[in-house]
Each structure stands twice: as C-alpha cells, then as structure tokens.
Structure 1
Amino acid sequence: MIKSSLVQAFPLLVTALMLSACDNKPTETQDKPQPVKVTTQQVQQINSLQKLTYSATIEPDITTKIGFAVSGVINNVTVKEGQFVTQGQLLASIDATEYENALIIANAGLEQAEDMYQRLNELYQKGSLPAKDYIDIKTKLAQAKASKSINNKHIADSKLYSPMSGIITEKLIERGSMAAPGIPAFTIIKTDKVYAKITVPENEIGNFKKGMLTTVFIPTLNDSVRGVISIINPQADAASKTYSAKIQLNNPSQNLLPGMIANVEINPNKYVPVLTIPATAVVRDADDLTYVFVINADKKAIKKRIVVSSLIGNKEAIVKDGLDKSDLIVVEGQTQLRDGALVNF
C-alpha cells in the first residue's frame, strides 16, 4: 500500500523540482551590465599664449682645478672642502728650502758676474779686451740674472693662492704629501652667478633668443628667480638631436647650489593651438598619474593617460599629450566608471 503511494507521488515530485530549477535560472536582463549615466564633452581647441617648460640643472659660473707650478713636499694646507675663499687667499704651501738655497747661489753668481763685467767692460771700452771675451762675460751676466729670476719665481710658486672668489669643492692634497706640476690640488667653483642648463628639442630651439627673460623655479628652495638666456649652443647632440641652452641667474646669497634641479618656464610671446578640457574631467590615480575616460564607437568608456601642461584659471586644463581634438570625454560621472564600462549619455 505504501509502495503504491510512493509510485504515484514520484512524478509530481519531479515536476516540482523542474519548475523550481526554471525559477532560479538567471534572465538575460540580469546578466547584461547596466550602462552608467555620464555627461560628455568634446575636446576643445583654442589659441593660447605659448608657454614652454623644461627641466634644468644648476651649474656654476666657473669651475677650475688649480695646483702647484713647482714640485715639493706640502707643509701647510689652510682650507677645507666646502669653504668659501676669496681671490688671493693662501690655500697651501710647500717646503721651499731647496729653492731658497738655490736663490742664495744664484745671487752669489750674479754678484760675481756683475763684478767681472764691470772690470772687463772698462778694458773693452779702452780697446784692451777682445770682442769675444766681452761677449762671453755679457752672456754669463745674463745667465746669472735669469737664474736669480727663475729661483725667485720658484719661491713664489711654493705658495698657492686662490685665483678667484669661490667655494672649495675638492681638496686633493694633505700636509706631507708630494706636489708636482700638472697635478690638481683643489677644485674651486664660482657661484655668485650660476646657470640653469636645459635641453631643447629641435622643433623648439627656433623660439630661443639670447637675452630672453625666463622664470626658474627651484623646488628645493621653493622659490622662483628671474633669469636671462645667455648661451645657446648651435651644435645639436649627435644622438638625441637636441640643443643645450643656459640661463644665467644672479646668486649673491649663494643659495643656488650646483646640481640642484630646477623648472624653467619660457614665454616666446606667440599664440599656438592647444587642446583644453574641463579640469574636473581629469582623474588622478594612486600612482599620481592623470587620465580621462574617452567614449569609443561602442559607447564604452576607455581609460586614457594624458599629460596636463598647465591650467587656465581653475576650470580648464591644457593637455600636452594623450588626446585628439576629435575625442569625446566624460566630464561628469567618471568616478563611477571602470575601464571598458558601458555608458549612457
């Protein structure tokens, strides 16, 4: 009896399970992603006053390596690295005993030659001395004078003085070490004026003229200074095909140090076409990279990297690279988007 009831109920159970499975099957509407509502705008092209920006490195006005003109053992060093020195200041000296003794000998030789010359000159004037002997004594006198002058110079060269006011950046000698001609002892840089050196692409070098005013911002000092383009190298780099230019900066306080990074802004005083977008359309990611969402033909929002060169007020951004004037960008609702999302506008 029980078996018969189970047989009768089995078809009903199977039908109920099938209906339940049909109810749980997802619909096409549930699978299909819903478009995100956004506001779009065409990229605008306007004529804007050209502004050129470059990265620069601060360089000293003059860099010089100096050393002794004579050899000897260094017996005194009066300066240290990083020290500011003035023109004519004593930097170091070598033991001049050998040169001082040589000068004593040279003086004695000169006295002897002068005495001999005076006596023989009288004889020559009277016609009692052959011309050959007179020429010999004149030669010896000249040699004695030259010997004295050379040894005087050796003694003077045993002291090394600064040829200009500047900063000691390298001290390559120590007391007791050996000095020799041609071997640098110090490196000195002159920094009362410095240069901001920039690299300029070939298509922009025509905008440069000597004497043009520039603005140089030094991030380390959080300060801007005015400069003048003073050097334009006419020879392009063989590999990069770029040109170098230098902006001269006054540096009376010595705050601008060689090696500092700077940003140079130059205004050639002419208008050029630029692409602009609303500043609110720009999105910045965790890596500090800027991008916008561009709508493609399938009405999908595509993430596109851009480079913003500057802002016009607080509302418009000038795009240096990454967009075309035909691009349609998202200006509202971009925070709700992901790359490739469908949009409705």
Structure 2
Amino acid sequence: MMKAAYTALFLIGTTALWSCGHAQREVAIPVEDTIPVTLLSLRQLDADEIIEATGVFTTDDETVLGFKNGGVIQQIYVKEGDPVRKGQRLASVQATEIDTRAGQVNVGLEKAERDYQRAQKLYRDSVATLEQLQNARSAWELAKRDVDAVQYNQQQLHIISPVSGFVLARLANQGQVVGPGTPVLQVNGAGMHSWMLKVGVSDSQWAKIQKGDAAEIETDALPGQKLQAIVSKKLEAMDPQSGTFTIYLDLKTPPSGKLATGVFGKSRISVGKAANNTSPQASWELPYEALVDADGNQAYVFVTRDGKRATKQAVKLGSIGQQSVMVLSGLENIDGVIVAGSPYLTEGSLIRVKP
C-alpha cells in the first residue's frame, strides 16, 4: 500500500517537472527581430522625355596621323581641305638619322657574317668549340634583326593616307621637330563612311540616355530635312575642355545632300524610346546601395509590398553612372525599394521602415 502511494507521488512529481520545463522552453523561443530599413520611393523616369543637345558632324573614320619615330618634317604635301586618296603620301620626315643608322647596322651585319663563317671553319678543324660557333651564329642572327628593324623604320618616314577623303586639319609645318606620334594631319573619309553627330550633355542627361535611343537631327546645311539617328556610343568620362559628357548619334540613313566635318547640328533625343520601337521603355534610377547579387546586367533588390516584410526582386540593369544605375525592368507596380539595411535581409525578413 505504501509502495503504491510512493509510486503515485513519483509520477505526479515527474509530470509536474516535465510540464514546468516544457513551459519554460516554450517561453524561451526567440521572436524574430524586425530590421530597420530605409525605403526609396520609386518614380519612373519620363519615357516620353526629350533631351535637346547640339554638336558637330563627324565620321566614324576620322583619324589623326603622325610619324612613328619623329624627327624634322621635310615636306607636307597637302593643305587643309585637300582631297586625298587611300595610300597617298601626305608628309615626310628627314631621313638623315635613319639612313646613318641603316649604314651602321649593315656594317655590323657584314662583320657578324664574317665571324660566323670563320667560326664554322675553325669548328670543322676542331679549333673552335661548339659554344663559340653557337655564339657567332647568335650574333649574326641579331645583326639581321637589327637590319630588319631599321628597314621597317625607313618605311615609316612618310605619312600615308589610310582612307580616301579630305584633310580636316594641318597640325604641323615644314621644318618643325616632332616626336613619335605627334599629330601632324587630321583626315577623314567624308562621304565614304557613316556620318554621326557628336553632342555634349550634362551628367544627369547622360544617366538617362541609353544606347539605342532614337534621335532626330536638324542642320542648316540640309534645310528642311529631319535626319533619323540612334544613340550609338556614350563616353564614360567627362570632356575636360567642355565639362560635358559626349554622346554619339549615328545617322540611320545617308543624308540627301552633302555634309562636312564640323557642320553644326541640333538633336532631339527620345529618352527610353528605342530606334526600332515606337513604344517607349520604362526605366528607373537607383543608387548602388540598393543592389544585391549583381551579375552583368542582372541584379536583385529588396522591395516591400506591405511595409512589413522584405521581398527579393530580380531586375534588369541598363547604363551605369558614377553614383547610380538605370533599371530597365523588374520594378513595375512597385512603389519603393529598400536602400539601407538590405545587406541584413533575406526573403521574407520582418522590417521596420524608418521615416
């Protein structure tokens, strides 16, 4: 009887202890923390925005020419505005120094050849060693390479036109001493290759304009014509002389009239409107802090639809600026993107939006 009573008391105590411990463990389960974040309200860039920019016409084969080795200019055979043919000699530099060098290397080659022939005879007679024969042959090979190099430099005493076109500028004069690569002439193949308008825009305009955007160009040189063009290139650095960013607009079709390099033109660039598409493309501008897991033109951002939980959203990137990046798709029907606190977030994280 007493044994049964003790057994009952033991079971009751064990059950009570288990219940207390279980209850204690339930209370200790941590509650997920909310992460404070900053939300950037999205504003889709005006897809119908028109940016007006002015510039000058040029061609895609405009080239600045100079001498490979420099020296004293002996003769410049063309003037500004002269037509030129591909392969035509445009300028020459004095050959005194290079001719003297050619004489030296030719004498050196003759000596090296004699030494090599003598070493061959001595080696056959077992007077010279194999190493001496090999050294003589190496000296002869080096002398031949020196002659080849001088002969090549003798061919570079002249500036030869790479295109058929016109001389745009004469940047040096006869008798002037120029260094290797110093600009002497500027030429282009006007009328032979594609025309483009080179315009300058501000940094904010540069960030909005995308490669492939459509543009319309007018110039007084072709009155009444509206030339259709496309944004073909955006330079990634500011022009230190003008303080603007350079954009190149390629003409889609040749103009029905004559153009010249340097002719002034006015352009109207349709932001977000592709040249082969009549419907404008949406875009948004985001700071770099908003991006996570970026790879090429693909990236992710964290957004929130209810202000309580974070959602990872895939986006497609466009042009990249110094402080921000353009997003071309993925943010449709989304009001805000998380720009501070995103490194601590995962899919579904609880968030608290800071004011």
From the superposition, tell whether residues 105 and 245 of structure 1 become closer, same or farther in structure 2 (CA, over 3 Å): closer
- Specify the SS of the correspondent of 1:82: coil
Return the offset for 1:157. 1.6
- The 8 Å contact of residues 201 and 243 in structure 1, kept in 2 or not, is answered as yes
2:227 is the counterpart of 1:225: yes
From the superposition, tell whether residues 90 and 251 of structure 1 become closer, same or farther in structure 2 (CA, over 3 Å): farther
Match of residue 211 from structure 2: 210
Q: TM-score, normalised by structure 2?
A: 0.51
Match of residue 116 from structure 1: 115
Return the offset for 1:209. 4.3
- The 8 Å contact of residues 68 and 156 in structure 2, kept in 1 or not, is answered as yes
From the superposition, tell whether residues 265 and 109 of structure 1 become closer, same or farther in structure 2 (CA, over 3 Å): closer
Work out the CA distance in 2 between the residues paired with 1:211 and 1:229.
Answer: 5
Match of residue 261 from structure 2: 257
Work out the CA distance in 1 between the residues paired with 2:205 and 2:167.
Answer: 40
Work out the CA distance in 2 between the residues paired with 1:77 and 1:237.
Answer: 31
- The 8 Å contact of residues 202 and 243 in structure 1, kept in 2 or not, is answered as no
- The 8 Å contact of residues 82 and 168 in structure 1, kept in 2 or not, is answered as yes
Match of residue 50 from structure 2: 52
| Correspondence list, 1:91-110, <5 A | 91-110=90-109
Work out the CA distance in 2 between the residues paired with 1:98 and 1:234.
Answer: 42
- The 8 Å contact of residues 76 and 92 in structure 1, kept in 2 or not, is answered as yes
Q: TM-score, normalised by structure 1?
A: 0.52
Match of residue 133 from structure 1: 132
Return the offset for 1:117. 1.2
From the superposition, tell whether residues 97 and 227 of structure 1 become closer, same or farther in structure 2 (CA, over 3 Å): same
- Specify the SS of the correspondent of 1:169: strand
- The 8 Å contact of residues 58 and 256 in structure 1, kept in 2 or not, is answered as no
Match of residue 286 from structure 1: none
- Specify the SS of the correspondent of 1:261: strand
- The 8 Å contact of residues 213 and 269 in structure 2, kept in 1 or not, is answered as no
Work out the CA distance in 2 between the residues paired with 1:58 and 1:237.
Answer: 15
Work out the CA distance in 1 between the residues paired with 2:98 and 2:231.
Answer: 49
- The Cα offsets for residues 58-89 of structure 1, whole Å up to 9 and x where unpaired, read as 24235443222234433322111122333332
- Specify the SS of the correspondent of 1:163: coil
Return the offset for 1:218. 1.4
- The 8 Å contact of residues 55 and 263 in structure 1, kept in 2 or not, is answered as yes
Which has the higher mean CA deviation after the structures are superposed, 212-221 or 228-237? 228-237
- The 8 Å contact of residues 217 and 267 in structure 2, kept in 1 or not, is answered as yes
- The 8 Å contact of residues 75 and 93 in structure 1, kept in 2 or not, is answered as yes
Which amino acid is 1:124 matched to?
Answer: Y
**Gaps (5+ residues) in structure 1?**
1-48, 273-345
Match of residue 181 from structure 1: 180
Work out the CA distance in 2 between the residues paired with 1:78 and 1:170.
Answer: 13
Which amino acid is 1:188 matched to?
Answer: V
Which amino acid is 2:55 matched to?
Answer: T
From the superposition, tell whether residues 166 and 131 of structure 1 become closer, same or farther in structure 2 (CA, over 3 Å): same
| Correspondence list, 1:25-64, <5 A | 50=48, 52-60=50-58, 61-64=60-63
- The 8 Å contact of residues 72 and 177 in structure 2, kept in 1 or not, is answered as yes
From the superposition, tell whether residues 129 and 251 of structure 1 become closer, same or farther in structure 2 (CA, over 3 Å): farther
| Correspondence list, 1:137-148, <5 A | 137-148=136-147
- The 8 Å contact of residues 168 and 261 in structure 2, kept in 1 or not, is answered as no
Count of paired positions = 223
